[in-house]
Structure 1
Amino acid sequence: MFRVFKRIALGLVALILVTAIALAIWEPLVAEEVRAPAQRAYDVEIVRDDFGVPHIFGRTDPDVSYGIAYAHAEDDFSTLQEVAAMTRARMGALSGADGAKIDFAAHLLDIRGTVDRKYAALPADIRALLDAYAAGLNHYADKHPEEVSLSGLFPLNGQDIAAGFALRSPFFFGLDSVLGALAEGKDLPIEGGPKLTGEPENRITPIGPEPDMNGSNAFAIAPGRSTDNVTRLVSNSHQPWRGGVAWYELVVHSEEGWDFAGATFPGSPYPFLGHNKTLGWTNTVNRPDLIDVYKLELNDDKTQYRLDGQWRDLEAKRVWLKVKMGPFTLPYPQTIYRSAHGPVIINAKGAFAIRYAGLDDLKMLEQYFRINKARNFAEWQQAMAIQGVPATNFIYADAAGNIAMAYNALFPARKPGANWRGVLPGNRSDLIWQTHLPWDRVPMLVNPASGYIMNANNTPYVAAGPGDELDPASFSPLMGIEDDMTNRARQAIKLFEAAGQIDAATLERIKYDVGYDKSDYATQWMAALLAVKPDGDNRIALAQALLRAWDWQLDGKGKGDALALMVMRPAMRQSYRRLPLPDAREVLTETIDHLDTHFASLDPKLGTVLRLRQGEVDLPMDGGSDTLRAATLWDIDETDGRLAVRHGDSFIQFVEWDAEGNVTSRSIQPFGAATTRPDSPHYTDQAKLFVDHKTKPVYFTREQLMPHAKRRYRP
Structure 2
Amino acid sequence: MLACAAVTVGCSKPASNDTAASKERYNVTVRWTAHGVPHIKADDWGSLGYGFAYAVATDAVCTLAREFVNARGEQSKFFGPEDGRLEADIFHKSVITDQALAHAVARVPEEMAALQAGYVAGYNRYLTDHTGEQLPASCRNQPWVKPIEATDMTRMGIGVGIRYGLGRSPAAIANAAPPTKDEKITFVAPPAAEDVTIYGSNAIALGKQATVNGKGLLLGNPHYPWSGGSRFHMAHLTVPGELDVMGVGLITTPFVSIGFNHDVAWSHTVSTGLRYTLYELTLDPKDPLTYRYGDETRKLTSHAVSIDVKQPDGSVKSQEHTTYHSHFGPMLEDKDLPWTRERAYAIRDSNLDNNRSTEQYLKFARARSVGDMLAAMQTSQGVAWVNTIAADRQGTALYADLSVVPNVDEALLKACASATVKKWGPWPAVVMRGAPDCEWRIDQRAQQPGILPAEQSPHLVRDDYVTNSNDSYWLSNPSQPLEGYSPIIGPERTERSLRTRAGLVFVNEVLQAKEANRFDAQRLQDLLFSHRNFGAELVLDDVLAICKHEPKTVKAEKSSIDVTRTCEVLAAWDRKQTVTSRGAQVWTEAWPLMSATPNLWAVPFDANDPVRTPRQLNASDATVRKAVMLALATATQKLNEAQIPLDAPWGEVQYTERNGEKIGIPGGAHATGMFSMVLGKLQPGKGYTPIVTGNSWMQVVTWTDRGEVDARGLLSYSQSEEEDSAFVSDQTKLYSIGQWLKLPFTEPEIAADTVRSLELKGS
Give the structure-1-normalised TM-score: 0.82
**Amino acid in the other structure paired with 2:60:** D
Residues 430-468 of structure 1 show CA distances to partners (whole Å, capped at 9, x for unaligned) of 4244421222222111014xx12211112222122x42x
Distance 1:683 1:620 in 2: 15
Deviation at 1:52, TM superposition (A): 1.4
- Give the alignment of 1:77-476 within 5 angstroms: 77-96=61-80, 97=82, 98-146=84-132, 147=135, 151=143, 154-171=146-163, 173=164, 175-177=166-168, 208-299=193-284, 300-324=286-310, 327-347=314-334, 349-350=338-339, 351-385=344-378, 386-414=380-408, 416-419=411-414, 422-428=430-436, 430-433=438-441, 434-448=449-463, 451-464=464-477, 466-467=478-479, 469-472=480-483, 474-476=484-486
**Amino acid in the other structure paired with 1:343:** P
Tell me which moved more, 688-697 or 535-544: 535-544
Distance 2:113 2:577 in 1: 48
Corresponding residue for 1:643?
Answer: 689
Residues 131-171 of structure 1 show CA distances to partners (whole Å, capped at 9, x for unaligned) of 11111111112222314766476432333212211111121
Tell me which moved more, 41-50 or 421-430: 421-430
Question: Which of 513, 517, 532 pairs up with 2:534?
Answer: 517
Deviation at 1:104, TM superposition (A): 2.9
What secondary structure is seen at the aligned counterpart in 1 of 2:648? coil
What secondary structure is seen at the aligned counterpart in 2 of 1:284? strand
Distance 1:329 1:375 in 2: 54
Question: Which of 479, 487, 491 pairs up with 1:477?
Answer: 487
Contact 1:410 1:437 in 2 (8 A): yes
Residues 396-417 of structure 1 show CA distances to partners (whole Å, capped at 9, x for unaligned) of 1111222101112223222634
Distance 2:274 2:28 in 1: 43
Residues 462-516 of structure 1 show CA distances to partners (whole Å, capped at 9, x for unaligned) of 122x42x2331x3233544464522221111112112122233321221124333
Contact 1:362 1:388 in 2 (8 A): yes
Tell me which moved more, 143-152 or 377-386: 143-152
Give the unaligned 5+ runs of structure 2: 1-11, 177-191, 418-428, 442-448, 511-516, 599-623
What CA RMSD, in Å, does the superposition of the two structures yield over aligned residues?
Answer: 3.4
What secondary structure is seen at the aligned counterpart in 2 of 1:281? strand
Corresponding residue for 2:616?
Answer: none
**Amino acid in the other structure paired with 2:162:** P
Q: Identity over the aligned pairs, expressed in percent? A: 23
Residues 267-316 of structure 1 show CA distances to partners (whole Å, capped at 9, x for unaligned) of 32211010011112000111122310011122334222211132211011
Deviation at 1:651, TM superposition (A): 1.0
Give the unaligned 5+ runs of structure 1: 1-33, 186-206, 576-580
Corresponding residue for 2:607?
Answer: none
- Give the alignment of 1:523-562 within 5 angstroms: 534-535=554-555, 537-540=560-563, 542-544=565-567, 546-547=569-570, 550=573, 552-555=575-578, 559-562=582-585
Structure 1 residues 591, 447: closer, same or farther in 2, change over 3 A? same
Deviation at 1:364, TM superposition (A): 1.1
- Give the alignment of 1:565-714 within 5 angstroms: 565-568=588-591, 591-599=635-643, 601-626=645-670, 628=674, 630-676=676-722, 678-714=723-759
Distance 1:497 1:338 in 2: 51
Structure 1 residues 570, 37: closer, same or farther in 2, change over 3 A? farther
Corresponding residue for 2:620?
Answer: none
Structure 1 residues 75, 487: closer, same or farther in 2, change over 3 A? same
What secondary structure is seen at the aligned counterpart in 2 of 1:408? coil
Structure 1 residues 479, 667: closer, same or farther in 2, change over 3 A? closer
**Amino acid in the other structure paired with 2:751:** M
Contact 1:130 1:269 in 2 (8 A): yes
Distance 1:320 1:288 in 2: 35
Contact 2:112 2:358 in 1 (8 A): yes
Distance 1:673 1:478 in 2: 36
Contact 2:32 2:39 in 1 (8 A): yes
Distance 1:632 1:481 in 2: 26
Matched, 1:54 2:38: yes
Structure 1 residues 418, 442: closer, same or farther in 2, change over 3 A? closer
Give the structure-2-normalised TM-score: 0.78
**Amino acid in the other structure paired with 1:124:** E
Structure 1 residues 441, 418: closer, same or farther in 2, change over 3 A? closer
Residues 167-187 of structure 1 show CA distances to partners (whole Å, capped at 9, x for unaligned) of 11121x3554455678799xx
**Amino acid in the other structure paired with 2:15:** P
Contact 1:59 1:256 in 2 (8 A): no
